[in-house]
Amino acid sequence: MNPTIDRYSLAKANSWLKGNYDDQTKAAIKEMIENNPQEVVESFYRDLEFGTGGLRGIMGVGSNRMNKYTVGAATQGFANYLKINFPDLHPVKVALAYDSRNNSAYFAQITADVFSANGIKVFLFDALRPVPELSFAIRYYQCQGGIVITASHNPKEYNGYKAYWDDGGQLISPHDKNVITEVEKITDISEVKFERNSKLVQLIGEETDQAYLQQVKNLSLSPEAINRQKDFKIVYSSLHGTGITLVPRALAMFGFEQVTVVEEQAIPDGNFPTIKSPNPEESAALAMAIEKAKSIHADLVMATDPDADRVGIAIRKGEDFILLNGNQAASLLIYYLLTKWKENGKLTGNEFVVKTIVTSELLARIADKFHVQHFDVLTGFKYIADIIKRFEGVKTFIGGGEESYGYLVGDFVRDKDAVVSCSMIAEMAAWAADKGIGLYDLLLDMYVEYGLYKESLTSVVRKGKSGAEEIQEMMTKFRATPPDMLGGSKVVLIKDYQTSRTHHLITGKVESIDLPASNVLQFITADGGKVSVRPSGTEPKIKFYFGVVAPLSDKSKYAEVEQSLSRKIEQYIKDLGV
């Protein structure tokens, strides 16, 4: 026994050596045990679990890695659960899509094999497609579930597996936990059925694309403005991902005639050769697109992540470009939607918008001003989808978003949708241009009206088993000794979503939180500041979300007020010892 490998991890590795796994897998495990004991621990110390984004991990050998067997077991467990829940349906149906990552097509084939072997009909996309189209396809083909193979914006060594229910939204409680239970019941890989039934696998493609794109086009609120601004110049990059399949088509359908694609990043490639990270939250990911925009004097830059559910945007400020963060883009989008719904006479008092608890409070302020109901949900777009489902046929969903660059307009998709977002952001820009202003001026106008809200995110990365333990210790410490002051303002409210309690520190009053339990803490200050502390459900990190606000009396004072708010956030970080 190698003393550097804990007993559980070694036992798990040995069970794979004795099990019905292929020779290549067993050889890799033996090599790890002999030469890389730490990798044995990282690969076997746990089984991959469903987090806010489903199954996600580094590709490789082991129970904590993405490979044929972990994907197969997850699919077998999901198949068992679907058949339990829909016993009278023959066959149960699922939709299946995949992105441009290395092994995505392979994992999609494995998934189709296992589903069909279990008598489940599979609608498999004939090539890579965006996540939102998978959500749409579930509803379009009246499926009971769906899967998309993707690791979203994670580094190239990752892949993942997002599971969906019959409403087109990702699995939520109790389904997510129940699927895990079914997976855990599989004690031997021989219980996984890998033999494909080809009669139950149907390829889908262009028909689905056209149906989806027509729904996207139907969202348009300012077709006349686009017609007048059809030469508005846009630069788009798919960052080597799936967005290239639909975003340019959607923009063309909206009426935009001057869309320039960053050709160097238009080729799907899981190695992401032109970027360090395919994450549109990071400025480096948009650098090539911004240079292209400068060279052709464009006014808007958009880039989507590999599975095209999130979009990063850059807008013109004079001769340069500035990046909008997710809170700014979401706020502008909601501001535009509600303004146009009101102008078009579509507001009846029965509409609503949704944001996550870590997203800017500016969205709530805007909704209040328009007398539109807003809902707060836990982090993860599946909770926004759940609210849409809850009020389906009762209230009308206008739009929603989260700070991590994911937005949705309309309800025909039940996940964040970068194809829709690119189309509506472009329309918003054309609408502003038609009024003689750019998006930067529109942003400042919004701040003057509602207050200057500034948000920031700090992540502390702690990898592996020891990192997970350290992150949990940090949460325990914050619960035991919460901050008294932040940025010179007293903490007056603590929201603990794990205990579902809100503590009013001035009055001592305690209220319940009507949301599922989640390991999140929020500290709210007397001057409207907000700090959210949350371990990531998909990455080895703990996230600190900061939000502060101050009045903006005039656009000319923007830089001064913004710098003041930046200093306040810096003080928050010091006060928390992050």
pLDDT of residue 326 exceeding 90, the answer is yes
Average pLDDT over residues 181-185: 88
DSSP letter at 498 equals: T
Average pLDDT over residues 170-195: 91
pLDDT of residue 68 exceeding 80, the answer is yes
Average pLDDT over residues 403-420: 97
Q: How confident is the model at residue 173 (pLDDT cuts 50, 70, 90)?
A: confident
Lowest mean pLDDT among 384-393, 413-422, 504-513, 539-548: 539-548
Catalytic residue among 152, 360, 404, 423: 152
Residue 154, pLDDT score: 86
How much is the pTM?
A: 0.94
DSSP-derived 3-state class of residue 392: coil
Residue that wins the pLDDT comparison between 56 and 343: 343
Q: How confident is the model at residue 277 (pLDDT cuts 50, 70, 90)?
A: very high
Average pLDDT over residues 399-422: 97
In the block, residue with structure tokens 């956030």: 569
Residue 383, pLDDT score: 95
Average pLDDT of the chain?
95
Residue 374, pLDDT score: 97
Instruction: Give the domain ranges of the chain.
Output: 46-204, 212-450, 452-576
Average pLDDT over residues 260-277: 97
Residue 1, pLDDT score: 47
pLDDT of residue 97 exceeding 60, the answer is yes
Measured between alpha carbons, how far is 511 from 389 in angstroms, rounded to an integer?
26
pLDDT of residue 94 exceeding 90, the answer is yes
The tokens for 130 are 């965006």
Average pLDDT over residues 244-250: 98
Measured between alpha carbons, how far is 529 from 574 in angstroms, rounded to an integer?
15
Helix (H) or strand (E) holding 136: helix 131-140
Q: What is the dihedral of CA 329, 335, 336, 341, to 10 degrees?
A: 140
pLDDT of residue 191 exceeding 50, the answer is yes
Average pLDDT over residues 478-502: 96
pLDDT of residue 359 exceeding 70, the answer is yes
Q: How confident is the model at residue 537 (pLDDT cuts 50, 70, 90)?
A: low
212-450 matches 452-576 in fold: no
Average pLDDT over residues 113-142: 98
Tell me the CATH number for domain 46-204.
Answer: 3.40.120.10
Residue 2, pLDDT score: 59
Residue 180, pLDDT score: 83
Average pLDDT over residues 40-63: 84
pLDDT of residue 205 exceeding 60, the answer is yes
Residue 465, pLDDT score: 76
Q: Which fold has domain 212-450?
A: Alpha-D-Glucose-1,6-Bisphosphate; Chain A, domain 3 (3.40.120)
Residue 77, pLDDT score: 93
Residue 481, pLDDT score: 95
The tokens for 346 are 């579509």
Write a three-state SS string for 347-374.
Answer: CCCCEEEEEECCCCCHHHHHHHHCCCEE
Q: List phi, psi (to 5°) of 501.
A: -130, 140
pLDDT of residue 51 exceeding 70, the answer is no
Measured between alpha carbons, how far is 57 from 73 in angstroms, rounded to an integer?
15
pLDDT of residue 290 exceeding 80, the answer is yes
pLDDT of residue 48 exceeding 70, the answer is yes
Tell me the CATH number for domain 452-576.
Answer: 3.30.310
Residue 50, pLDDT score: 62
Catalytic residue flag (residue 190)? no
Cis, peptide link before residue 248, omega less than 30° from 0: no
Q: List phi, psi (to 5°) of 60.
A: 160, -170
Give the percent of the chain with pLDDT over 70. Answer: 98
The tokens for 352 are 């609503």
Measured between alpha carbons, how far is 73 from 258 in angstroms, rounded to an integer?
47
pLDDT of residue 397 exceeding 50, the answer is yes
CB-based contact 24:60 (threshold 8 Å): no
Average pLDDT over residues 155-180: 93
CB-based contact 380:356 (threshold 8 Å): yes
Measured between alpha carbons, how far is 335 from 410 in angstroms, rounded to an integer?
15
pLDDT of residue 54 exceeding 70, the answer is no
